[in-house]
Amino acid sequence: MFKSITVVIIAASTASSFAAVNPYPMALRASLSANAKSQSLNEWESSGFTPHDLFARFRAQGNAAEFCEALVALPPRDLALFEAELESPLNQRLLPCRDSLLGKLENHWNQFNTTTLLDVPTDPEAHRLPSLEKVVDPTTTRATVATGGLEKGEIAITLDDGPHPTRTRRILEIFKSWGVRATFFELGFQAHARPKVSRDVLAQGHSIGSHSWDHPNLPALAEKDLPAALAQIDRGRKAVEAAIGENFPFFRFPYGATNEILSKYVTDQGLVSFLWNMDSMDWKLRDPAELLKGLAAILDQGKPGIILFHDIHEQDVLVMEPFLQMLKDRAYSTVVFVPRKSPALLP
């Protein structure tokens, strides 16, 4: 009799202690681990452990105090993985720790502003790189552009997923200082939200392509709902065109993922599809010094082609000028893709 009562009390006590355990530290570690192990952006964003996935689950059934406790415990390097979700308006009012966490990240990034990642001359005249135009004819370019047909010593800088409310313009200022032009592949919902930023990209002589409406894996979506996948392409393109007031016939598949039906559809719409043959891995390498080291290794291979960045990440802003200096040190020329019969672009 007494023994059974004791067992019940112990069991109840144990269940209570398990219920009191904060689940978020383990969830954050799982997200960080999945990011570290992923070999591609597609693999990472399909893992089910992205910050977007984690914050969506929190919004559905989470405890703000427990989530804050777990986030506050992260070192800044790890916290940086969750920066975009902390910045998102969806989470603005749900986390009382949000402002302090963003302040923590600002201090973290500021150390790289004051720490020399690379010796970049302060003389503006030294901040110049040759910038070439590569004309692409959408009526004759039927295959996906993977390397851009560039020559040795030529590299095309491309940036995906913007425009960001602040980071895109900071990158534009860097490009302006160096006389560099690039190709931006914008998401439709981002361009729709910030058309002025998109117009600034165009006004400074850069090319703009579309990148779907909101970055789904289009082949996976097409298997379930082909019209929805095609609508992603069309809606994204129309949003970018509406933002800039012009038609740029350039497109990039999210994750570079496509299939025969989708590729044919894009071509039939008069669009040129672009891939890349150099990946900065900026979605994974959040430490600017580590990211820059990886970029140096890419350049040291000496191959020409298209490099992939994202103008939505703080680490990209911080490494962009040192990266341009590395290009200059290695005698690279930068390349911007322009469509045949495009409106005149500023030099």
Query: Are residue 91 and residue 227 in the same domain, yes or no?
Result: no
Query: Are residue 325 and residue 184 in the same domain, yes or no?
Result: yes
* 334 found inside a domain: yes
Q: What is the pLDDT of residue 121?
A: 73
* 2 found inside a domain: no
- Of the candidates 82, 114, 146, which is a domain's last residue? 114
Q: What is the pLDDT of residue 345?
A: 40
Domain that holds residue 235: 128-339
Query: Are residue 83 and residue 187 in the same domain, yes or no?
Result: no
Provide the token pair at 145. Answer: 């552009």
- Of the candidates 63, 85, 114, which is a domain's last residue? 114
* 89 found inside a domain: yes
Query: Are residue 230 and residue 313 in the same domain, yes or no?
Result: yes
Across the 347 residues of the chain, what is the mean pLDDT of every consecutive 10-residue run? 39 45 94 96 95 95 93 97 95 94 96 77 77 90 82 96 97 96 98 98 97 97 98 98 95 96 94 95 95 96 96 96 94 94 44
* 345 found inside a domain: no
Give Cα separations from 42 to 124, 153, 309, 323 (angstroms).
39, 29, 15, 25
Query: Are residue 67 and residue 154 in the same domain, yes or no?
Result: no
Give pTM, 2 decimals.
0.90
Query: Are residue 161 and residue 107 in the same domain, yes or no?
Result: no
Q: What is the pLDDT of residue 15?
A: 40
Query: Are residue 167 and residue 34 in the same domain, yes or no?
Result: no
* 14 found inside a domain: no
Q: What is the pLDDT of residues 161-179, one digit of tens each?
A: 999 999 999 999 999 999 9
**CATH number where 245 lies:** 3.20.20.370
- Of the candidates 91, 114, 137, which is a domain's last residue? 114
Q: What is the pLDDT of residue 342?
A: 43
Query: Are residue 105 and residue 208 in the same domain, yes or no?
Result: no
Q: What is the pLDDT of residue 347?
A: 37
Per the structure, the count of domains in the chain is: 2
CA-to-CA distance for 252 and 264, rounded, in angstroms?
14
CA dihedral 283, 58, 19, 28 (to 10 degrees): 10
Q: What is the pLDDT of residue 165?
A: 94
Strands 333-339 and 131-136: parallel
What rounded mean pLDDT belongs to the chain? 90
**CA quadruple 291, 293, 297, 302: dihedral sign:** positive
Query: Are residue 94 and residue 233 in the same domain, yes or no?
Result: no
Closest CA to 204 of 179, 239, 238, 167: 179
Residue 144's CB is within 10 A of a number of other CB atoms, namely 17
Strands 278-279 and 207-210: unpaired
Query: Are residue 155 and residue 201 in the same domain, yes or no?
Result: yes
Query: Are residue 73 and residue 146 in the same domain, yes or no?
Result: no
Catalytic residues: 160, 310
Q: What is the pLDDT of residue 127?
A: 76
Q: Which residue in the block uniquely carries the two structure tokens 């290794």?
A: 297
Query: Are residue 138 and residue 58 in the same domain, yes or no?
Result: no
Q: What is the pLDDT of residue 114?
A: 64
* 121 found inside a domain: no
